[in-house]
Structure 1
Amino acid sequence: MHACPYTPAHHFPRGKNDPGFRTKLQIAAGLATRAKAAGLVFRAVAADCAYGDQDSFRAALHAAGLPFVTALKPRHGTWAYGPHAHTPVDAARLLAWQDPEHPGDWSRIERTFRDGHTATWWAAEASLGWWGPDGNVRLVVATADPATLPAKATRYLATDLPRPGSPRVAESPHPPAALAETVRIYGLRHWVEQSYKQVEDDLGRADFQVRSDTAIQRHQALVNCAFSFCWNTWFAPPRPLRPPRHPDLTHCQAR
C-alpha cells in the first residue's frame, strides 16, 4: 500500500499558502484514490473529525467514487428554517425515545471493541438539512444513551452508503449498509488508530514535527514498516510447536 507523510506548513516557503503544502485530509483523499486505482477493494473510507469537519474531503471521495463513513463534530452547523435542526445534536434530540422497551426511532446494536468486550449501543437515522435516511448523504447517530447523548459515548456519522430498502439502493454503486454495519465500519478506525499510535509513540512521535523534512520522511517509513510487521505477525497463523527434546540416554555413562 502507498504511504505519504504529512509535512508541517513551516517547512514550506509560503507556509499553508505554498502550492506544495497539503493538509492531512488532502493527503488521505489522494491515497484512497490511488488505492482504488491500484485495485485495492475496501468497504468504505472511515475518518474522524480531529482535523475539522470534512466537507471538501467527502466531496473528493465522492468524486473518486469512494464510499465513506466520517465523523461529524456535534456542533457542525447547517442552515435550516426556523425550528428545524441546525446541528447533529439538534437532529439527534428530535428523535423519539422513551426507554429500552420503547425505543421509538432508535435501534439496538451490539458493539465489539478492540479488547473483545461488547456493549449495547443505540443507533438511528436522523435528518439535518439535505442529509437524511434517503438522501445522498445519511446522518447516523450512535450512542450509549439516547436520553442524554453523552459526549464521550455518542458518534455523529455522515455516510453515502444507502440504507437497506432505500430508493437509492438501485442507483448507488455501493452496497447498502444497515445502522449496525455503518457504526461497525467507523469503529474499525479506532482499532487501526490505537495500534498505529502505539507504534508511532514507541518510535518517537513526540519529536516528529521538529525534525527536518527528510527526517520526517525517514521516520514515517520506519513507522509504516513497524506497523506492517506487527499486523503481519498478528494475522499470521501460529507456527507448529516443536516436540520437546529429550537427552539421549543411550550415551549416558555412570560416573
Structure 2
Amino acid sequence: MRQPSDTEAQAPEVRLVGRLVTELESIGAWLQPHFRRREAHAAAVEYVKSLLGRAQRKNMWGLSEDAGHRAPYAFQHLLLRAKWDADVVRDDVLEYARRALGEGGILAVDETGFLKKGAKSVGVARQYTGTAGKVENAQVGVFLSYATPHGHALVDRELYLPESWAEDAGRREVGGIPDEVGFESKPALAQGMLQRALGAGLKPAWVVGDEVYGRDTTLRRFLEDLHQPYVLAVASNTHVWRGFYQVKPGDMVKDIAPEDWVRLSAGAGTKGPRLYDWARMRLNRHLGLSRWLLFRRGLVDGKVAFYVAHARRNASLESMVRAAGSRWAVEEDFESAKNEVGLADYEVRTWTAWHRHMTLCLVAHVFLAAARAMANLQLQEGLPPKALGLPRRRNPMRAFLVRRGLH
C-alpha cells in the first residue's frame, strides 16, 4: 500500500491551522462595529491576541510587551477612556458561543474570587472566596458558562458589589460606579445574566448552580415561571414544599428506600467516571412541570448532597444526574480562563475597566472553546495521526498558536 507523502499527511493539519487563523481574524471583524475609532479597535484586537499569547503574567505590562509595545498606554486607554460599550460586546460573546458550540446546551452560574491587596479596587472587601477557601481581601465576580457536547466557555460576567461599597458615596465616585448600580446579591446578578441569555432566544436544556443559587427562592421561581428546567444544589436544611407542607431535604432522604438508590456517573472525571448513588423524590408541580428533590450519595463516605430540580414529569433520573454533573464545566472554565487568558491577572481599579477587561477575556476564552471544537471535529472526521504519517505529539492547537506567535 502506498504511504502518504509528507504533503498529503500534513494536509489535514494544514487545513485546520488555516481555519483557526481565519477564525481568529474573524474575531477582529466582529469586534470592529463596536468601536468608533480605528485605534481603539486595533488595540482591542491586540489585547485579545495578547490574552491568548505567551506572556506568563498577563497584566497591563505583560500584555503590552507581548503586543510589542514599550509601554501600556494603548491598553490603559482601551480599558479606561476609549469609547466602546463592553455590554454590547458581551452580548455578542453569547451569540458567538451559540454559533461555535451549538444550541441546547447547559447554562451554569457560579462565582470566583480575585485576591487583591489594599482597599481601592472597586468591590474589594474581606469576603469569602472559594479561590482561597476562606475569607480574604478579594473581589468576587459572578459568571455564566455555556456548555454543549462540543465545548464550554464563559459568556457573561458581573462584579459583585458589597454593601460597604454600594452605600459609600465616596468609594462609588473613586471606583466609577454608575449611579444606577446598587447592591445586588449574587443570585440576583445570576438572574440578570440568565435573563439576558434567555431573552436573546437561547433555549438551554438546563440551568445549574451550587447552593448559593439553589437556596434563592426568587431565582428558582424566575426560572420556573419561564418553564426553564434546572438542577440547583441546596443545603440539607433548605425548605421546599411537598404537598401542603414544608420539608427539608436532610429529613426526606431518610424516606428513600434502599432499592431506590441507583448508581450512575455524573460525568467523566480526571480518574474516570464520577460514580455516585442517586435517588429522587417528586415534590409539587408548577406550570406543567414538576419539582423534584435529587439526592447524591458518596460511595466511600456515604455523604449526601442535595438538589432541587424542575423538569418535565417524564424527565429521567439519568438526565437530571447528567445535568447535575455538568456544573463542573464552569469550574474548568475558571481554571482555564485564569491560566490561559489572564482572567485574574488584571490590575485595574474602576468599574468600567474591570468589566472591559473581563469582557475581552470572555472573547479570548470563547475563541479557545471554538478552536478546540474545530480541532476535535477535525480529528473525529480525519484519519488517526499514525495513518496520516504524523507524529502523535503533534498538536494542531499548539501548531496554530506557534504559527501566530501566541505560544
TM-score by length of 1: 0.68
Report what 1:87 is aligned to.
248
Q: Is the 8 A contact 2:231 2:309 kept in 1?
A: yes
2:291–2:310: 8 Å Cα contact kept in structure 1? yes
Map 1:93-242 onto structure 2 (within 5 A): 93-97=254-258, 104-115=259-270, 117-126=272-281, 136-145=290-299, 149-150=302-303, 154-164=304-314, 177-200=315-338, 203=342, 205=344, 211-237=349-375, 238=378
Conservation of the 8 A alpha-carbon contact between 2:346 and 2:357 = no
1:31 positional shift:
2.2
| Native 8 Å contact 1:107 1:122 kept in 2 | yes
Do the aligned partners of 1:141 and 1:157 also contact (CA within 8 Å) in 2?
yes
Contact kept in structure 2, 1:111 and 1:118, CA below 8 Å: yes
Partner of 1:248: none
Counterparts of 1:79 and 1:38, CA distance in 2: 32
Q: Give the helix-richer structure, 1 or 2.
A: 2
Contact 1:138 1:158 in 2 (8 A): yes
Q: Distance between the aligned counterparts of 1:155 and 1:163, measured in 2?
A: 22
- Which structure's relative contact order is higher, taking Cα pairs within 8 Å and 6+ residues apart? 2
Note if contact 1:33-1:64 (Cα within 8 Å) is conserved in structure 2.
no
The aligned residue for residue 6 of structure 1 is: 159
CA RMSD of aligned residues (A): 3.7
How far off is 1:55 after superposition?
A: 1.2
Q: Residue 19 of structure 1: CA displacement?
A: 6.3
Choose between structure 1 and 2: higher strand proportion. 2
User: Which runs of 5 or more residues in structure 2 are unaligned?
Assistant: 1-93, 95-154, 170-179, 391-407
User: Which residue number corresponds to residue 251 of structure 1?
Assistant: none
Structure 1 residue 14 displacement after superposition: 5.5
Task: Give the aligned residue type for 2:330.
Answer: V
Deviation at 1:196, TM superposition (A): 2.5
1:42 to 179, 184, 204: 204
Identity %: 22
Aligned to 1:101: none
Once the two structures are superposed, residues 60-82 of structure 1 have per-residue CA deviations (whole angstroms, 9 ceiling, x without a partner) of: 112233221111112324589xx
Tell me the amino acid that sits aligned with residue 178 of structure 1. Answer: S
Contact 1:6–1:24 (8 Å) recurs in 2: no
Tell me, yes or no, if the aligned pair for 1:125 and 1:139 is still in contact at 8 Å: yes
1:119 to 1:199, Cα distance in 2 relative to 1, 3 A: closer
